[in-house]
Structure 1
Amino acid sequence: MIRVLALLMLAACSAGTPHFRDLPATRVAVNGSVFDVRLRGDLAEAVRVNSQYAPRLGPIRDRAALAMAQVSGCPIADVLGDAAVTVGVLACDQKAADRLLMAAVTPTHYECIDFGTYKSGLDTGYEVFECTPY
């Protein structure tokens, strides 16, 4: 009974915010951070689901942007949030994304290697990427 309760509580942690709650999540790992990514319109949400000691937003923000880009197939114009939940603006239509940004931001380019799907136990698995700036 305790195991079931603990499993339900853990599942609720990655349920997503109200705007993204009913959408299916794609689990992606980028450089040691694991995210559940959901897409709705021109927005993407990345919920970090693994534990990390004292994560700072800077590195988590970059990893979340990479995860959202991998799932959506679009560049990410901007990312807001904290070390647990971030929301990104998708820039599939670059002209629309330019209107959303108040200042020009020089994007950092990354080269990502897809290491395939990680599976453990009953988990359905998730994509694992290792990304380095160039």
Structure 2
Amino acid sequence: MRGFVVILMAALAGCNTPGPEFRGTDPVRAQVGRSVFDVRVDGTRAQAIRVNSEWAPRLEAVAPRGAAAIAQVSGCRVVRVWGDQAVMVAEIDCGEGAALLPRGHAYDCELDHIHGGYAELICTPRH
């Protein structure tokens, strides 16, 4: 039984393992709605791994929250998102010569006007 517990713990430890292109990038935890993500940003790409449990989530429901978490952490506009309801990768646009926001900033973000697979993300700094 002890061996089973060790194997189970090792398997669960891999649930938040980033893809190869994001290894070595520290995650930033972000919550949007009922979803919690570990977000890693590397240049013009970002990855959001959903770390909370949700009952039967669909990509269509989780993707806008993943994009919002990526925008919140990166400070950049999310151009495109692909993946599944657990791991999403996004192309981000930080503008010409724009720098990513320093880590440690916190924002409250809300999704607005979801239509045709797109949504506006309205973020305000937390005080």
Q: Normalising by structure 2, what TM-score? A: 0.71
- 1:76 is matched with 78
- Unaligned ranges ≥5, structure 1: 95-104, 117-134
What is the CA distance between 1:53 and its match in structure 2? 1.0
What is the CA distance between 1:29 and its match in structure 2? 1.1
**Paired residues for 1:62-101 under 5 Å:** 62-93=64-95
Structure 2 letter corresponding to 1:110: L
**Paired residues for 1:2-81 under 5 Å:** 6-81=8-83
1:80-124 Cα shifts (integer Å, max 9, x gaps): 111011011111127xxxxxxxxxx895223346778xxxxxxxx
Q: Normalising by structure 1, what TM-score? A: 0.67
1:108 paired to 2:119:
yes
Between the aligned residues of both structures, percent identity stands at 41
What is the CA distance between 1:10 and its match in structure 2? 2.9
SS at match of 2:63: helix
In structure 2, C-alpha distance between the alignment counterparts of 1:52 and 1:115, rounded to whole Å? 26
Number of aligned residue pairs = 106
In structure 1, C-alpha distance between the alignment counterparts of 2:84 and 2:5, rounded to whole Å? 29
Question: RMSD between aligned alpha carbons?
Answer: 2.7
Distance 1:113 1:7, change over 3 A: farther
- Unaligned ranges ≥5, structure 2: 97-115
In structure 2, C-alpha distance between the alignment counterparts of 1:114 and 1:49, rounded to whole Å? 23
